[in-house]
Amino acid sequence: MDVPETRERPTPVPGPGPYPAAPPLPRGPLETERLVLRPWQEEDIPAVHQICQDPDIQRWTTIPTPYEVGDAEWFVREFTPKGFADGDEATFAAVVKATGQIAGAIGIGGIAKHTEGRGVRTAEIGYWANPETRGRGYVTEAVREVVRWGFEELRLERVTWQAFEGNTASRRVVEKVGFTVVGLQRGSHEHRGRRVDMWLADVLPGELR
Ligand SMILES: CC(C)(COP(=O)(O)OP(=O)(O)OC[C@H]1O[C@@H](n2cnc3c(N)ncnc32)[C@H](O)[C@@H]1OP(=O)(O)O)[C@@H](O)C(=O)NCCC(=O)NCCS
C-alpha cells in the first residue's frame, strides 16, 4: 500500500514514563548446540562496526547510517549494559563455538515498556546477522533459545516481532520457531524519513518450536 510521506507533526507529548523500576536481567551466558549467547564485550567493537556496514542491516533495522565506530562503542559500552541493568532489554552476542566468530546480535526488550498498562509480561525480539555467517541457521537457533529463556527465566507471557513489510528473511526466522504473523500495521512507523508498514507477529508460551 502507498503510505503518505512524512508530514509536519506537532511536538510529541511526553509519555507516561519512567516505567516501573525492574530488577536487573540475568546476563547469561546461554548456550545452544553451536552457539554461546553472552553480553557484548569491549573487544567486539570492531566486529560490530564492520558487520553494521552491511546494506541489509542498514535497510531493515533502525541503526544509524552511516554507521561509525562511535555507534558500535555506544552499542557495546552503553546501550546493551544499560538494557540489562534497567531490567528492560537483554541483547546478546551470538558467538559460534567452533570459530569464535560473531554470528549476530539477538535482543529481547521493551519489557517494562510493553508490559506497562497491559498487565501481560510482553517483550519484543530483534536481531541482525553477520553477513559472513548467514544462511546457516545460527540466528534461528539463537532466537529460539532467547525466546525460551524469556518465557522460562524472565516469566514473559508473550513475545512479539515487528519488521518492515518485505523483510522475508527475518519473517522466515520467526515463523520457523513458532511465531504467527498476525497482521500488517499500516503506516505505523517512520523509517529514514518515510512512513512504512510493519508486519507484526507473536508467540505465546507453548507455541515455541
Ligand atoms: C534476517 C537475518 C537475521 C537472517 O539471517 P540468516 O543467517 O539468513 O538466518 P537463518 O540462516 O537462521 O534463517 C534464515 C531463513 O530465511 C530464509 N531466507 C533468507 N533470505 C531470504 C529471502 N530473501 N527471502 C526468503 N527467505 C529467505 C533462509 O532460507 C532461512 O530459511 P530456511 O531455513 O527455511 O531455508 C539476516 O538476513 C539479517 O541480518 N538481515 C538484516 C537485518 C534484519 O533484517 N534484521 C531483522 C529486523 S526485523
The CA distance from 80 to 92, in Å, is 8
CA dihedral 65, 124, 87, 20 (to 10 degrees): 110
pLDDT of residue 10: 62
Measure CA 130 to chain center: 14
Q: How many angstroms does the Cα of residue 9 sit away from the middle of ligand 1?
A: 35
Q: Do 94 and 48 form a contact (C-beta atoms < 8 A)? A: no
Q: Which domains does the chain have, with CATH numbers?
A: 30-155 (3.40.630.30)
C-beta 120 within 6 A of ligand 1: no
Separation between Cα atoms, residue 165 and residue 187, nearest integer Å: 10
What pLDDT, on a 0 to 100 scale, did the predictor assign at position 129?
98
Of 94, 87, 8, 2, residue with least CA distance to 51 = 94
Give 10-residue mean pLDDT values along the chain (209 residues): 58 59 90 98 98 98 97 98 94 98 97 78 96 98 98 95 98 98 97 96 97
Q: How far apart are CA 138 and CA 173, in angstroms?
A: 10
Position 118 scores a pLDDT of 75
Q: Tell me the one-letter amino acid at 185.
A: Q
Res 151: pLDDT: 96
Say yes or no: CB of residue 172 within 6 Å of ligand 1.
Answer: yes
